Amino acid sequence: MVRFYLEIPSINDFSSFEISNTILFSELKEQKNIIKIKIEKEYKTMYLDRENTKGMLKF
């Protein structure tokens, strides 16, 4: 299991978040990436896999 945490303080006027991830897909065919985003009190989640490596969340 690989975990990655990123915190970005002090972003004003945030309306969307786009991410692309292909790390380890060539090595781990069944890998799934869970992306969890919290903006103030709103939470959103997206799932990325080998066929779907890019996603966008709108707030």
The DSSP letter of residue 13 is S
Of the candidates 58, 30, 36, the residue with the CA atom closest to the CA atom of residue 49: 30
pLDDT of residue 54: 95
pLDDT of residue 18: 92
Residue-wise pLDDT for 11-52, tens only, equals 778 788 899 988 888 888 888 889 888 888 889 999 999 999
> Distance between CA atoms of 39 and 45, rounded to whole angstroms?
12
**Sign of the alpha-carbon dihedral angle for 3, 23, 25, 17:** positive
In the numeric block, the tokens 């890998």 are attached to 31
Residue 2 has pLDDT above 80, yes or no: no
**Domain residues of the chain, as ranges?**
16-58
Its pTM stands at: 0.72
